[in-house]
């Protein structure tokens, strides 16, 4: 379950970058991990980028290639799906099924920005409290009625 103590150190995070992902949330998630390693003087966390398909270009135009293919990501890694403005267009069909398989095996899976739409499409939000981007509040609630979107 997400939030449990890591199985191994350093704890691995894999940021699954989707086409047109929003850069700011990704950087905002990475920097605290980097700083924690620096403050503690050892590697508590490690991270890599994966893409479900081709290298992903962020909404700001910066292109980031995968450091590891998504299919090679181990079960102990925490997976963070990073989306942008059009998750209904940019998500490869194989990604929700892959996330469901990983969830059944106990993988920690989260999201940034509109990545919650991908988790919803995978059926991973039913009964869970979650966040969503303010721009898609109403469409999110319609598309994923079993999710419990937070107002905070």
DSSP state at residue 3: T
Residue 2 has pLDDT above 60, yes or no: no
Give residue-wise pLDDT tens across range 58-114: 999 998 887 888 888 988 899 999 998 888 787 888 899 999 999 999 999 999 988
What six digits make up the tokens of 65? 């290639």
Calpha distance 41→108 (Å, rounded): 25
pLDDT, tens only, 18-57: 989 999 999 999 999 999 999 999 999 999 999 876 788 8
SS3 (DSSP) at 17: strand
- Stated as kind and residue range, the H or E segment containing 8 is none
Q: What is the pTM of this model?
A: 0.89
Q: Is the pLDDT of residue 138 over 80?
A: no
Q: What is the pLDDT of residue 132?
A: 76
Residue with tokens 């990983």: 102
pLDDT bin (cut points 50, 70, 90) of residue 139 is confident
Position 90 scores a pLDDT of: 75
Cβ pair 73, 43 in contact under 8 A = no
pLDDT of amino acid 64: 86
Distances (CA, A) of 146 to 31, 123, 151: 32, 9, 16
């Amino acid at each position: 379950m997400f939030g449990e103590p890591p199985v191994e150190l350093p704890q691995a995070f894999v940021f699954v970058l989707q086409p047109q992902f929003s850069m700011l949330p990704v950087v905002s998630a990475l920097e605290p991990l980097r700083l924690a390693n620096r403050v503690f003087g050892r590697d508590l966390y490690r991270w890599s980028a994966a893409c479900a398909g081709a290298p992903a270009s962020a909404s700001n135009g910066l292109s980031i290639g995968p450091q590891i293919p998504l299919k090679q990501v181990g079960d102990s890694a925490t997976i963070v799906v990073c989306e942008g403005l059009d998750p209904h267009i940019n998500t490869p069909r194989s990604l929700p099924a892959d996330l469901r398989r990983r969830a059944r095996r106990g993988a920690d899976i989260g999201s940034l920005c509109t990545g919650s739409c991908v988790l919803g499409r995978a059926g991973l939000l039913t009964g869970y409290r979650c966040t969503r981007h303010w721009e898609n509040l109403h469409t999110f609630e319609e598309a994923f009625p079993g999710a419990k979107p937070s107002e905070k």
